Amino acid sequence: MNSKKPQYNQGLITIPLENGQSLEVTPQECWRLTEETSAYLFENYGSFDSVPMRVIEKNNKRFNVAITEHVPFWKKVDKGRWEPHTFEIFDDFLSADHICLDIGGWIGPTALYAAQLAKHVYAFEPDPLAYQELEVNVNLNKLAEWSSRLSIYNTAIAAHSGTIRLGSRKRGGDSMSSVLFADRSTSWEIQAITLQQFIEDKQLQHEKLFIKMDIEGGEYELIPSLKQLLSQYNVDLYLSVHPFYLEESQVGGQVQEKENSLFKRISQRLAFVKYQVKLLRSLPFKYLYHINGQQLRPYKQILKAIVTGDFTHEIVATNTQWDKS
């Protein structure tokens, strides 16, 4: 398409083409053509000689992404409607002397952004479908000066190295795969490595580390295993917490069909609260913050878990005061 915009006149939409010609279609035909073309691109983008892509601009950062079924998501990123606070936190905590560990990189929104801020970014995405698209997106930026500062791994960071099972509530690749859903019909055996082993392998022990972790409920197992590591190294942590995924996994995915017995409900709530307490106790930081910069009070979150069955969904943990202006 050229720079001219489509025009509507007398029931027809005129679409200007690159070769100087134009295409005239009715609004209904235009809609059908758009849907069919989009579906074709989404299903076959990997087979083209040149992957169709679009440019995402965010806070003076630019990166390319493939045109796939995730185009609506990328539009939200581009328009500032997807987690603007996430990019603000990256801006506040990342600098050219930081190593960023992106645990749960999905298709790359944070890794592609962070690579333009940090000394180096290591992104981990165990979901094979998500990783495939992440790899495509990374390759689309191979000419960028920052591309050498981004390394990706189709590996999980886990409490123990070896093979673990990752499951999805749907078909995978949708950012919601989790070890909590390992028993679902869609699941994979994946390789896992401990964070301690990775840090030692890459000789990152003396680096400033910024860890972004978004692993769809897996944090309830992983964070307690990292308590010593988090206290040993120079680390800031941006943690996404998924209390509802935890609750769903505890009741076999039947959140809306819990037994009505008072004893059963109390038992489930106590187990839920226990997980939140364990998570908070495993964060050996001087300061815990909400994403808006307000200090997080652990006792208030525990009370919230007891009374409402909910818990904060994001935590910024650091040993230095965060002055969010």
Q: Please tell me which residue, 2 or 61, carries the higher pLDDT value.
A: 61
Q: What does the alpha-carbon distance between residue 111 and residue 102 come to, in Å, rounded to a whole number?
A: 7
The dihedral sign for the CA sequence 26, 30, 33, 35:
negative
Residue 287 lies in a domain: yes
In a domain, 65, yes or no: no
Q: What is the pLDDT of residue 170?
A: 65
Identify whether 19 is part of a domain.
no
Q: What domain count does the chain have?
A: 1
Gap between the Cα atoms of 213 and 284, Å rounded:
16
Strand, coil or helix: 193: strand
The answer to the question of residue 72 being in a domain is: no
Q: What is the rounded CA–CA span in Å between residue 321 and residue 325?
A: 12
The pTM (predicted TM-score) of the whole model is: 0.86
Residue 257: pLDDT band (50, 70, 90) is: very low
Digit-coded pLDDT (tens) for 150-208: 999 999 999 999 998 887 766 655 555 656 555 565 677 889 999 999 999 999 999 99
d(CA 70, CA 191): 26
Q: Strand pairing partners for 9?
A: 12
Tell me whether residue 11 is in a domain: no
pLDDT at 251 over 60: no
CA 132 to CA 282: how far, in whole Å? 33
**For residue 23, is it within any domain?**
no
DSSP strand pairing (208-213 vs 98-103): parallel
Express each pLDDT in 210-232 by its tens digit. 999 999 889 999 999 999 999 99
Whether 311 and 243 have beta carbons less than 8 Å apart is answered as yes
Cα(226)–Cα(223) distance, integer angstroms: 5
d(CA 128, CA 263): 40
In a domain, 14, yes or no: no
Domain that holds residue 96: 80-318
Residue 188 Cα distances to 155, 173, 175, 216, 324, angstroms? 12, 12, 15, 16, 40
Indicate whether 246 belongs to any domain. Answer: yes
State the chain's mean pLDDT as an integer. 90
**What CATH number has the domain bearing residue 195?**
3.40.50.150
